[in-house]
Structure 1
Amino acid sequence: MTRRSQRHRTTTLPFSYRNKGVGFDLDSFAVDDRERTALELNPSQTEIDLASAVSSSDSSAESDWSTLTLNGELRLPEDTVQAVFPEDERAQPPAKLYVTIRCHETIYRDRTIVSEAPTTPGEYDVELEIPKDTVRGTVELRPYLVRTEAHPREEPNDYADQKNFRVASGTLYYVVVDGGEEEERAAIDGERVRFSQNAHLPDGNKLYYLDFRNEGRPKLWINSDHPRIAEVLQSRGSVGAEARMRDVILDQVSYGVWVQLLVRAGTAVNAEGEVEHEWQEMVLQTFVRNLYDTSDVSEATHRFRDDLSDPQTLPHVMQRIDSELQEYIDPREQLIHLMEEGLQI
């Protein structure tokens, strides 16, 4: 079974991809302004339980926290670069290196850029900040090497040639930040309920509904009239068919949710470039710089607001939103995992 899965993994994509092409080690963590603490992980350990550590590092510490910082190292070997880039690009690979930060329970995704293009073989220090108000339960961390330039070629070959194609990845870590005993407030509340029995929810077979009746605290409703889907969404595992199906469903839901949140946040920006609610600021901080390829959040926010309000630019900004969310969510990855599971059934 293992050999069959590995063979399929190498042929699923139409270009060379290294699933374990980026080395990733975490060696320490810090909570807020407390001292850094070493992580003593076993060689194959990928789950890191920091629930008690973030609550208090000693008996006198406060039980609350705001930011968890993880430190470590990424390693990009020479053989990975040789495997995923043609010879004429290997000296200065057109690629960036980043670590994704994902939390299923809050539908939160972010990434930390470790190296901009060109990214050459070597070792890179990494520092990952996880804000408490964006996550709950378990946070997933994984590194990716991503192509940054399109390079169409006349003759077919084994290399990716489009911008934003991921060409290598590394170890997936699961960081437990709380035990789930206390109900922390996520950036967006979520609840499963039967739509057919609630007048304020839409009729029909809708899978989800994003409720803005309280603009300061949007709520995501999942329709439990579909019991099998609701059951899969409650799956807590990280491998197996149910976990893969859960991830694909969550990708579909999160795409629609992020589109709505982005448009709502962008149209709420005032003349000074400010918004009223915390979730709006979080959404803008996460996306607008990438939408306009700038590091200036204020400039990107103003441009986003203007583009949404102009019928001439609205179709173009929606296209940019679609492109950014496809990279941000990367539904292809979860679909590939699901197909791999299906081939083994």
Structure 2
Amino acid sequence: MTRHSQRHRTTTLPFSYRDKGIDFDLDSFAVDDGERTVLDLNPSQTEINVASAVSSSGSSSDESDWDTITLHGKLRLAEETVQAVFPRDEWAQPPAKLYVTLRCHETIYRDRVVISEAPTTPGEYEVRLEIPKNIVRGTVELRPYLVRTDARPGEEPNDYADQKNFRVASGTLYYVVVDGHEEEERAAIDGERVRFSQNAHLPDGNKLYYLDFRNETRPKLWINSDHPRIAEVLQSRGSVGAEARMRDVILDQVSYGVWVQLLVRAGSVVDAEGEVEHEWQEMVLQTFARNLYETNEVSEAIHRLRDDLSDPQTLPHVMQKIDSELQEYINPREQLIHLMEEGLQI
């Protein structure tokens, strides 16, 4: 079984990858525009209860009274990592960018903060990560990645990644607790598990999920607990093991469908001034619009999205753009590979 597992890993990830190739240390945080508070973490500590720290630090009389938490720290990329994941001719100017992903399972929120654009050479990099309260809930996961930024056309198969956007190294996964369970009502997009078969307002059949827009101010994601095994897996909080891998694949599937609906719906209600009515609509447009049109001007991108969605001639093209952007944003390939590799060990 061990030999078979190794053969499969070589097939699914046919290039050098360093799971602990980036040192990631968080040393302090600030609430809104306040002063930094030192994070006194144990060497192996990966869970950070910011909600508790905010309350005990005296930064606020109410731990829920904040808009943004900013975490500060450092990333260190070792020369050994670069030499392990890139061929010798790329060591001097590695075609890679370094970023940290932010992920919240509760609200299917994902984002990434680029720390270094290509070329990214070995060294130490300052990290500043903002967590916006209006689109997260519970726990936010933070993890750094080193990602190849261009392809090597014409290269024969070798031990190195040769395609753009392949992740080649990662670092410590932190779990940042941003609020307690009593704060769940503060999320921008609510989620709840319920039996569809016992609720008339939800679709019948074997639907896995349903995005409810009856209250346009606060869309709600319903997960069908008529599928008890799936609902149980979705409650898993671990980062390794079969259940964690299955959870991530299921969440990828759900989040893709949810983001498509949110993005199309938000883009369709943009007014002539480029404004939308609800907070979640602004969040979705701010997250995706610029990448869809490869521009730094949010206003321009939002207007173009609205126009493309309203025109039958451009609608198919923009839907293709949305599909491409969501595949890049969600990156389902990575979670599928993890699940395939985990399955060989069960």
Q: TM-score range by the shorter chain?
A: over 0.9
Q: What is the TM-score when the length of structure 2 is the normalising length?
A: 0.92
Q: 2-side partners of 1:257 and 1:336: how far apart?
A: 22
Pick closer, same or farther for the CA change 1:269–1:8 going to 2, 3 Å.
Answer: same
- Name the SS of the counterpart of 1:229 in structure 2: helix
SS of residue matched to 1:167: strand
Amino acid at match of 2:29: F
Question: Equivalent residue of 1:40, what SS?
Answer: coil
SS in 2 for 1:144: strand
Q: Alpha-carbon deviations, 1:6-39, whole Å to 9, x = none?
A: 8875664122222112221111111122221111
TM-score (norm 1): 0.92
Counterpart CA distance in 2 for 1:318 and 1:93 is 34
Q: Which residue of structure 2 lines up, in the alignment, with residue 141 of structure 1?
A: 142
Residues 285 and 338 of structure 1: CA distance in aligned 2, closer, same or farther (over 3 Å): same
**Structure 2 alignment gaps of length 5 or more:** none
Counterparts of 1:39-188 in structure 2, within 5 Å, are: 39-55=39-55, 57-58=57-58, 61-63=61-63, 64-188=65-189
Render the CA deviation track for 1:157-203: whole Å, top value 9, x for unaligned: 22222222212111111111223244332111111122222222212
Q: What secondary structure, in the 3-state scheme, does the structure 1 residue paired with 2:185 have?
A: coil
Report the CA distance between 1:56 and its aligned residue.
5.2
1:250-292 Cα offsets, whole Å, 9 max, x none, are: 1110111011111111111122111111101000111112222
- Aligned counterparts of 1:254 and 1:71: Cα–Cα separation in 2: 28
Structure 1 residues 59, 38: closer, same or farther in 2, change over 3 A?
closer
Q: What corresponds to 1:254 in structure 2?
A: 255
**Aligned 1:319-338 pairs, distance under 5 A:** 319-338=320-339
User: Aligned-pair RMSD on alpha carbons?
Assistant: 2.3
Aligned residues with identical type, % of pairs: 87
Q: CA distance change for structure 1 residues 116 and 36 in 2, over 3 Å: closer, same or farther?
A: same
Partner deviation per Cα, 1:197-254 (whole Å, 9 max, x = no partner): 2222212111001111222211111111111111211223333222221121111101
SS at match of 1:183: helix
Q: Give the drift of 1:298.
A: 1.2
1:240-251, aligned counterparts within 5 Å? Answer: 240-251=241-252
User: Match of 2:128, as an amino acid?
Assistant: E
The residue number in structure 2 matching 1:27 is: 27
- 1:183-198 alignment runs, 5 A limit: 183-198=184-199
Matched-pair contact (CA < 8 Å) for 1:101–1:141: yes
Query: Contact (CA 8 Å) 1:248, 1:331: kept in 2 or not?
Result: yes
Structure 2 CA distance, aligned partners of 1:305 and 1:11?
Answer: 43
Size of the alignment, in residue pairs? 345
Aligned equivalents of 1:62 and 1:228: distance in 2? Answer: 38
**Cα deviation digits, residues 80-129 of structure 1 (max 9, x gap):** 22222233333222221110011111111111111112222211101001
Amino acid at match of 1:23: D
Distance in 1, Cα, partners of 2:91 & 2:5 = 29
Which is further off, 39-48 or 126-135? 39-48
Moved more, 245-254 or 325-334: 325-334
Gaps spanning 5+ residues in structure 1: where?
none
Shift of 1:53: 1.6
Q: What is the rounded CA distance, in whole Å, between the counterparts of 1:60 and 1:103 in structure 2? A: 24
C-alpha displacement of 1:141: 0.2
The farther-off stretch of 293-302 and 1-10 is 1-10
> Which secondary structure does the structure 1 equivalent of 2:186 belong to?
coil
Distance 1:185 1:68 in 2: 15
Asked whether the 8 Å contact 2:138–2:184 carries over to 1, the reply is no
The one-letter code of the counterpart of 1:22 is I
Residue 214, structure 1, aligned to residue 229, structure 2: no
239-248 vs 123-132, which deviates more? 239-248
Q: Contact 1:153–1:161 (CA<8 Å) still a contact in 2?
A: no
